[in-house]
Structure 1
């Protein structure tokens, strides 16, 4: 098995949030097979870039995705993140 993948951890975290907007950081990290610390860092990146927002609901976070945001790489910028989510998620 190769030691690289086609999608970054950022994409995998986004897909985990799309599956369950109420997932805990630990659940997101487990779903991506990364550390909790890495998941927090990636969630911070995604929030800072405008791909998601965190809303506090009691003691937990609820994530609101902004699927209309464009992909970040210039060669994909004409595509929205929602296209990635729809193509690769089990939400259909």
Structure 2
């Protein structure tokens, strides 16, 4: 690289949406503040990402006492047309580890079995 060329921007394989979703799959009781700290994002950014994920049907939450408990909908599919026929569950199982095995899929069942 020529010294006159600007340095390339850093990039990652995972979007912040994926990072937030996998963190919530690991810990459904995580607070926005804790997610932001763990993911090196601002609280406002995490709030917006959680709202996006809920609006798109990948995530729901219920209020229990003073805390939110999140539920990842494992039966969701990828949004991009190139992968639109594939489920997100296998990726989340890799990223979240065994915690994803215990996340309800949204149909009342548990585990990583994909819907028909």
Task: Specify the TM-score bucket, using the shorter chain as the normaliser.
Answer: over 0.9
Q: 2:12 aligns to what?
A: 5
**Structure 1 residue 37 and structure 2 residue 40: aligned?**
no
How far the C-alpha of 1:77 sits from its partner, in A, is 1.2
The number of aligned residues is: 92
TM-score for the superposition, normalised by structure 1: 0.92
Q: Does 1:56 align with 2:56?
A: no
Matched, 1:24 2:31: yes
Length-normalised TM-score, structure 2: 0.74
The reply on whether 1:65 has 2:76 as its aligned counterpart is no
Provide the rounded CA distance (Å) in 1 between the counterparts of 2:34 and 2:98: 17
Normalized per residue, the structure richer in helix is 1
Structure 1: which 5+ residue stretches go unaligned? none
Q: Which aligned segments of 4 or more residues in structure 1 are displaced greater than 4 angstroms?
A: none
Unaligned runs of 5+ in 2: 1-8, 100-116
Larger Rg: 2
